[in-house]
Structure 1
Amino acid sequence: MVVGGDAAGMSAASQARRLKGPDELEIVAFERGRFTSYSACGIPYWVAGDVTERDRLVARTPEEHRARGIDVRLRSEVVGLDLDGGRVRVRDLESGAESWTGYDRLVLATGARPLRPALPGIDAPGVHGVQTLDDGQALIDALDAAGGRRAVVVGAGYIGVEMAEALLRRGYEVTVLDRGEQPMSTLDPDMGRLVREAMDGLGITTVSGAEVTEVLTGADGRVRAVAAGGEEYPADVVVLGIGVEPETTLAREAGLPTGAYGGLLTDLAMRVRGRDEVWAGGDCVEVLDLVSGRERYIPLGTHANKHGQVIGANAAGGYGTFPGVVGTAVSKVCSLEIARTGLRERDAREVGLRYVTVTAGSTSRAGYYPGAEPMTVKMIAERRTGRLLGTQIVGREGAGKRVDIAAVALTAGMSVDQVAALDLGYAPPFSPVWDPVQVAARKAAAAVREAG
C-alpha cells in the first residue's frame, strides 16, 4: 500500500511492479489529489509560459499506472494509521465516506505542505500557494482574471525567486518580501547579494528584512496589499514562497519517529526506524548529509525518485539502499543561474568545522570567445585537511550545472587540491583553460596552506 501518488510513492510502486507481477504482488496507491507522478518543480515554468500545457508536467497518468497493474485511487485521503492492525482509514473526498483497508507492507510518501503562517487575511481570495498542479491552475486562472498587474511574492527561496520571474514575464509589477538578510537563504549572504542585484536589475523590487504581519483585503474581501515592516505593499495577487515542511501528521500520531526538522527517520533501506513493514521517502523524510554527518531536510524531486526506487526494490523483496546527499540544488531567475552544494559557512560552524572560504570570478567560456559570461564561485574548505565542504555558484549561462563537479567531489570526499587537479574537458566554447570551479579550488588550496 502506497500513501501519496507523486514522485516517491509512484516510483516505489513502479519499481515494485517491475520486480513482481500482479499475480505475485498487489499494489494499491491512495492519492488525495487528481494527478499522479507530476513535476511540482515545473509549476513556475508553466506559470511563466515556458511549459504550455499542464499535462506536460505529468510523467505518468493514473490510467497508465493502472494499465501496469497498480490500483491507483484518486481523491482518496488517508486519515488514520493503525500500524499494529496493519490497516489505514481512507476518506473518499467526493462522497465523504470512510473505510478501513488492510496492508502487508506500507509506503508513506505523504510529501510536504507549504508553510502558511497564521496571519490575518492569509486565506483571502487572491493569496496562492504553489504546491500542486491544482494550485498552479488556480494561480494561472487568477492571473488571467486579475483586474490589476501588481504581484507580491512572500519569501525569496527557490520557489519565491522562480515565481517572481514567472510573474514578471507575465507582465506583472513584482515585489518580493523576504525576512532574510539577502534572497536565497540556501546561499551565504555574500552570494545572495549577487542574486538580489540581478533581481533589482530585472525590475523586481526585493525588500529584505521584511516580516509580513498581515494580508490586507478590500471591501470585496479580496487581497489588496501586504503589510510588512510598517509598510503596505499593494497587491492584486499574492504568491507564498516561504517554503515547506514535512507532512508527517499521521505518522507522528501513529508514533513513528521524526527528527529535528519534523521529517520521518529511516534506515539506509528507507525503512522507518523501528518498523520492518513500513517505508517512507520523498519530502516527508529527513536524509543523511554526507558532508556534515547529520540528518537534514532537503525536499527535492531528485531525492524523492531515488527514494522510491530503493523502497520499491525492498518492498518487493529485492535490495537497495540510499546512502545520503550532499545538498545539491540549482535554480534561476531569468538569465541568472544559481547553484549550491555542500555546507554554507553557518552550516560548517554549527557542526564544529574550522574552515577557510574564497570567492573567485571567472567566465563560462574562454574570455575571448563570443558569449563568455561572468560567474562567481565561492568555495569552503576544511582548514586543516583542505577537504571540500561546499560550493556556491552565481552566474549566467553555463554556471548552474558546473556545481555538479563540486557535488561529485563532495561525495568522494576530495580535497580542494584534488579538485584543482581534475582532468576536466576544455575547449574555448565551453570553458577557460582553468574551469571556474578549478579556479576557486586553486584559490581555496592556497588559503588552506596559508592558514597552516
Structure 2
Amino acid sequence: MAARRMVVIGGDATGMSAASQARRLKKPDELEIVAFERGRFSSYSACGIPYWVGGDVTERDALIARSPEEHRSRDIDLRMRTEAVELDVPGQRVRVREETGGEHWVGYDELVLATGAVPVRPPLPGIDAEGVHGVQTLEDGQRLIDALEQRVESGGAPRAEGGEARRAVVVGAGYIGVEMAEAFVKRGYSVTVLEKGEQPMSTLDPDMGALVHEAMCGLGIETVLGAAVTEIRTDAQGRARAVVTEDAEYPADVVVLGLGVRPATELAREAGLPLGESGGLRTDLAMRVRGHENIWAGGDCVEVLNLVSGRPQHVALGTHANKHGQIIGANIGGGYATFPGVVGTAVSKVCDLEIARTGLLEAQAAAVGLRFESVLIKSTTRAGYYPGTAPIHVKMIAELRSGRLLGVQIVGREHAGKRVDIAAVALHAGMTVEQMTCLDLGYAPPFSPVWDPVLVAARKAAAAVR
C-alpha cells in the first residue's frame, strides 16, 4: 500500500511544526511529507527580527530553529524557493513554481495551509522605493541590515554631514513599530514614529496608550500622533528621502513600515475556501478548514476564537502558530488534539518600557454588548524601599454584577510586562476579580510589593463592580 502524502505550504512555524509532529507519529512508508517554502529560510523567529536589527541578537542564524537540511534529515522533503501558485481542491493537487520558473502539479492526501501573513502596505506614492523596508520575514530583516551596513561602510551612518544623527522614520506605532523604534535608537539614529491614531499601541485603550506616548517621548523618540502618511518622497536616484503626512514632512535616511499584517490567504480565496471577516481562514477546533476533511490551516493565515468575547479574530503570533502546527500534525498523524482559542495576550517593549495586554479592550467589550467597569492603578514593580523598583500602571476591566475579568493592560518599567500572564491564566479559568484577590502569588521585596500590582487592581475592580 502506497504511503499517503501530506503537502505543506509554508516552511515556518505552523508548517514545519505540523510536518515534524506528523513525522514523529508516522514513518516515511506510511506518510510522505512534502513542504514548499518560497523563501530562503525555514523555521525561524520573525518576532526576533527587531532585536537582531538592534544588535541584541548578533547572528541571523540564532533566529533559525531548524534549517532545511535538518528537516530533510528527518525525512521531510522541504523544497525551498518553491512557491505554491494554485490550489485544485476537487483534484487534490497544488501547482508550484520553482525558482527556475518551471511549474508542475503535486497531488496530496492531506493539505496544510501555513501561508502566514503579509505586511499592510498601502498604495502610496514612493511606498516601494529603495530605502523603504518591511520586517515580516527573515529576508526582510537581512535586506534592512544589509542596507544599514552598506551605509556604514560608505561612511553614511550613523552620522550625517555636520555630525547630525541619521534619521529613521517608522510608520505605525504598533508592536513592530515600537520595537523597530528601539532598534534604531540602539543604532544611534534619530527616530521619528508616525502614528495616524489617537495614541500609539492601538492594542491598548487610549488612556494606556497615552502612557506609552509619554514614555516614548521621554526616551527621545519623536512620536507624532494623528499623522496620516500621504507619500514617501524620493531623491533623483529613487531612494526614500522623506515621509510626508497631511501636515508635515519628515526627512528620512531609512523608512520602516509597521502598519500591521493581514492574513496571506489569496490562494485559499481563489480556491473557494471559507474566510472570515478578517480575511483569515475559518477552521474547526482541530484546525481543519471548515467543510474540507483533508485540508488544514494554522498560524497567521487563520482566524481564532477569542474566548472572552466569543468572537473570531485574527491574531498573528508565533506562540499560536507553533501550537496550531502541533495540533495539525497530531491529527494528521492519527492522534487527536484541539485548539480551543485565545484570550488575546501580547507583550512588547520599547527600550526599558514594557507594554502588555490580555483579554478585551473597552471598545471590544462594548462591541459585544458587555457592561463593565474599568479601574486603573499605579504601583511599583518591587517593594518601594527595594533598590531598582520601578513604576507600573495596571488597568483592569471587569463585567458588571458578575465581576468576571474581561481584560488587563500593563505599562511599566522592568519586570512589569510578564505580570500579564497572571491575568491571562485568570481569563482562561473564567475567574472573577473577587477570586483574583485571593490568588497566592509569590512575594519577596526584590520581586513585588506585599500586594502585587495585579492584585491591587483586582481589589479595586472588585469594589467597583459590587
- Aligned partners of 1:270 and 1:144: how far apart in 2? 42
Determine if contact 2:345/2:356 at 8 Å carries over to the other structure: yes
Residue by residue over 1:410-433, the C-alpha shift from the partner in whole angstroms, topping out at 9 and shown as x without a partner, is 011100001111111111111111
- Aligned partners of 2:149 and 2:9: how far apart in 1? 34
* Equivalent of 1:91 in 87, 97, 100: 97
* Equivalent of 2:112 in 91, 107, 115: 107
- Aligned partners of 2:123 and 2:386: how far apart in 1? 53
- Aligned partners of 1:32 and 1:254: how far apart in 2? 19
Q: Tell me which residue corresponds to 1:226.
A: 243
Shift in Å, 1:358:
0.2
- Equivalent position amino acid for 1:179 in 2: K
- Aligned partners of 2:308 and 2:150: how far apart in 1? 47
Q: Tell me which residue corresponds to 2:204.
A: 187
- Aligned partners of 1:397 and 1:187: how far apart in 2? 19
Q: Tell me which residue corresponds to 1:79.
A: 85
Shift in Å, 1:86:
0.6
Residue aligned with 1:26, SS: strand
- Equivalent position amino acid for 1:136 in 2: G
- Aligned partners of 1:410 and 1:319: how far apart in 2? 25
Determine if contact 2:227/2:247 at 8 Å carries over to the other structure: no
Structure 1 position 330 matched with structure 2 position 356: no
- Aligned partners of 1:277 and 1:42: how far apart in 2? 33
* Equivalent of 1:142 in 147, 154, 157: 147
Structure 1 position 130 matched with structure 2 position 97: no
Shift in Å, 1:144:
2.1
Following superposition of structure 1 onto structure 2, how do residues 37-436 of structure 1 map, counting pairs within 5 Å? 37-93=43-99, 95-146=100-151, 147=156, 148=160, 149-436=166-453
Instruction: Tell me which moved more, 18-27 or 152-161.
Output: 18-27
- Equivalent position amino acid for 1:12 in 2: A
Shift in Å, 1:258:
0.4
- Aligned partners of 1:168 and 1:144: how far apart in 2? 16
Residue aligned with 2:31, SS: coil
- Aligned partners of 2:24 and 2:381: how far apart in 1? 42
Shift in Å, 1:145:
2.8
Q: Tell me which residue corresponds to 2:4.
A: none
Q: Tell me which residue corresponds to 1:14.
A: 20
- Aligned partners of 2:442 and 2:186: how far apart in 1? 35
Residue aligned with 1:266, SS: coil
Shift in Å, 1:133:
0.9
- Aligned partners of 2:150 and 2:376: how far apart in 1? 46
Shift in Å, 1:22:
1.2
**TM-score, normalization: structure 2?**
0.95
- Aligned partners of 2:374 and 2:246: how far apart in 1? 33
- Aligned partners of 1:230 and 1:368: how far apart in 2? 47
Count residues in correspondence. 448
Gaps of 5+ in 1: none
Shift in Å, 1:135:
0.6
Residue by residue over 1:263-302, the C-alpha shift from the partner in whole angstroms, topping out at 9 and shown as x without a partner, is 0000000000000000000000000000000001110000
- Aligned partners of 1:192 and 1:238: how far apart in 2? 23
Residue by residue over 1:173-218, the C-alpha shift from the partner in whole angstroms, topping out at 9 and shown as x without a partner, is 1100000101000000100111111110111000000000000001
- Equivalent position amino acid for 2:24 in 1: R
- Aligned partners of 1:57 and 1:145: how far apart in 2? 22
**TM-score, normalization: structure 1?**
0.98
- Aligned partners of 1:433 and 1:383: how far apart in 2? 28
Determine if contact 2:229/2:246 at 8 Å carries over to the other structure: yes
Shift in Å, 1:65:
0.5
Determine if contact 2:234/2:241 at 8 Å carries over to the other structure: yes
- Equivalent position amino acid for 1:173 in 2: S
Residue aligned with 2:410, SS: strand
Shift in Å, 1:143:
1.6
Gaps of 5+ in 2: 1-6, 161-165
- Aligned partners of 2:168 and 2:388: how far apart in 1? 33
Q: Percent identity?
A: 76
Determine if contact 2:390/2:412 at 8 Å carries over to the other structure: yes
Residue by residue over 1:138-194, the C-alpha shift from the partner in whole angstroms, topping out at 9 and shown as x without a partner, is 111112233341110000000000000001110111100000101000000100111
Shift in Å, 1:229:
2.0
- Equivalent position amino acid for 2:347 in 1: V
Residue by residue over 1:220-250, the C-alpha shift from the partner in whole angstroms, topping out at 9 and shown as x without a partner, is 1111101002211000110000000000000
RMSD: 0.7
Residue by residue over 1:92-139, the C-alpha shift from the partner in whole angstroms, topping out at 9 and shown as x without a partner, is 12x101000001000000000000000000000000000111110111
Determine if contact 2:14/2:324 at 8 Å carries over to the other structure: yes
